[in-house]
Amino acid sequence: MSNLEVLSIAELEAAAMEKMDKMTREYYNSGSDREITLRDNLAAFDRYRLRPRVLKDVSRIDTSTQLWGKKISFPLCIAPAAMAKLAHPSGEVGISRAAANAGVAVGLSSFSTSSMEDVVAQGAGAIDYAIQLYVFQNRKTSEVLVRRAERAGFKAVFLTVDTPYLGRRINEVRNRFKLPPHLQLLNFENPGDVAVYSENETKAHGGDKGKPPAAGAGVDSILPQGNVNDASLNWETDIQWLRSITKLEIWVKGILTAEDTLLAVQHGVDGIIISNHGGRQLDGVTSTLDALPECVAAAAGRIPVHIDGGIRRGTDIFKALALGADCCWVGRIPLWGLAYDGQAGVELALKLLYEEFKLCMSLAGCKSVKEISRDHLIRVKTDGTLARL
């Protein structure tokens, strides 16, 4: 299939499926357990219809918005997703180049297969980057990662808070997921510093200085028994801890409730991302679009509220903004673009989303993103009738 024939993200997804091996395809696409949340993330967008306004002079549309004091071309950025080189050799560098050409920001996973310096270099100052952070049992490893990101010019830390333990992704076990031997997790100077082993195994491998299980490492060794992260992470001490080691903005990724939004505000975080990790963590949690309104109300304009999960079309971006999100992020779409056609595939994906969003704004009668409001939506109730918000 040539780029000309891929006319929607759904078609891009289908084309990408043919390019990936089973292990990668299922690792990227799956959710946890029964995948209820994975499906609901998408379905939630279809529970709203648009209320367009007409005769609004839409001859000139400004889709842009601001993030970290810089203009982004439209409110859609690239969410951190681990191990992009499974999709294509250019990996996160290819994604970064595509994002720079499209004028949107990038979140880089702690577990990226390109180094953070190489990724940021592609932006050449034109776009901004956030480093996604897992706090490991060996905190020094996380600290080194954050300080390195600060030096490399990242603007923010996205502290992922929905993953004290990894969710149950059945495919990873069944497929005996492993990082192919030619790939490395390049954000760790000594990947052995990551708590990749259970305590006994760590000792067997010589403690923290033990060599990483580079070649042939399975999901059991990259993410053994969900033991990557420090599960003791908490509001009382750890935002402050992060604050004490970095001057970067601190954003919390993985909030789904008004209660946690309030705590984020109280602990002085700079922004939040409403996220359920793309349905890969706790299955059965609310879709992110359904969680958004209560979080927006709780934030009450004090901090920016972003969202990811299930965004597949320009109208989805519009709906999220109408419900109060300041910006959207996409995780799987860039991976599909990469698998389909490397950097060009990611550019294609961003172009499709940009054009769809711009058309949606125009046809709904919005000249700028500020004009997108709750009045542009109506909710489809379970009995099929419509309810004004």
Task: Find all residues with CB under 8 Å of 233, minimum gap 6, and list them.
Answer: 135, 161, 164
Please report, for residues 17, 110, 187, 377, the alpha-carbon distance to residue 243 in angstroms, rounded to integers and kept in the order given.
Answer: 41, 18, 21, 38
Of 79, 179, 242, 299, which lies in the binding site for ligand FMN, with binding defined by CB under 6 A?
79
Residues in the chain: 389
Which residue pairs from 230-239 have beta carbons closer than 8 angstroms and sit at least 24 positions apart in sequence? Answer: 230/135, 230/136, 230/137, 230/139, 230/164, 231/164, 231/165, 233/135, 233/161, 233/164, 235/263, 235/267, 238/135, 239/159, 239/267, 239/268, 239/269
Of 223, 291, 321, 360, which lies in the binding site for ligand 173, with binding defined by CB under 6 A?
223
Catalytic residue chosen out of the listed positions 88, 205, 267, 277: 277
Candidates 86-94, 220-228, 239-247, 263-271: pick the segment binding ligand 173 (CB under 6 A). 220-228
Q: Report yes or no: 340 and 88 within 8 Å, Cβ to Cβ.
A: no
Out of ligand FMN, ligand 173, none, what residue 308 binds, judged by CB under 5 to 8 A for its kind, is ligand FMN
Q: How many residues bind ligand 173 (CB under 6 A)?
A: 7
**Extended strands (E) in the chain:** 48-50, 65-67, 70-72, 76-78, 106-108, 129-133, 156-160, 249-255, 271-274, 305-308, 327-330, 377-380, 386-388
Q: Which residues are 307's β-sheet partners? A: 274, 328
Q: Between residue 105 and residue 124, which ones bind ligand 173 under the rule CB under 6 A?
A: 111
25 binds ligand 173 (CB under 6 A): no
* Whole-number Å distance between alpha carbons of 352 and 266: 38
**27 in a labelled binding site:** yes
Instruction: Provide the minimum distance between the beta carbon of 266 and ligand FMN in the complex, in angstroms, as a whole number.
Output: 22
Of 99 and 133, nearer to ligand 173 (C-beta) is: 133
Instruction: Provide the minimum distance between the beta carbon of 334 and ligand 173 in the complex, in angstroms, as a whole number.
Output: 14
280 binds ligand 173 (CB under 6 A): yes
340 binds ligand FMN (CB under 6 A): no
Catalytic annotation present for 277: yes
Q: Between residue 229 and residue 268, which ones bind ligand FMN under the rule CB under 6 A?
A: 253
Q: Which of 232, 236, 278 is nearest to 253 (CA)?
A: 278
319 binds ligand FMN (CB under 6 A): no
Q: Between residue 22 and residue 51, which ones bind ligand FMN under the rule CB under 6 A?
A: 27-28, 41
CA angle 95, 100, 101 (to 5 degrees): 100
360 binds ligand 173 (CB under 6 A): no
Q: Which residues bind ligand FMN (CB under 6 A)?
A: 27-28, 41, 79-82, 109-111, 132, 160, 253, 275, 277-278, 280, 308-311, 330-332
Report the catalytic residues.
277
As annotated, the binding site includes 27, 80-82, 109, 132, 134, 160, 169, 253, 275, 277, 280, 308-312, 331-332
As annotated, the binding site for glyoxylate includes 27, 132, 134, 169, 277, 280
As annotated, the binding site for FMN includes 80-82, 109, 160, 253, 275, 308-312, 331-332
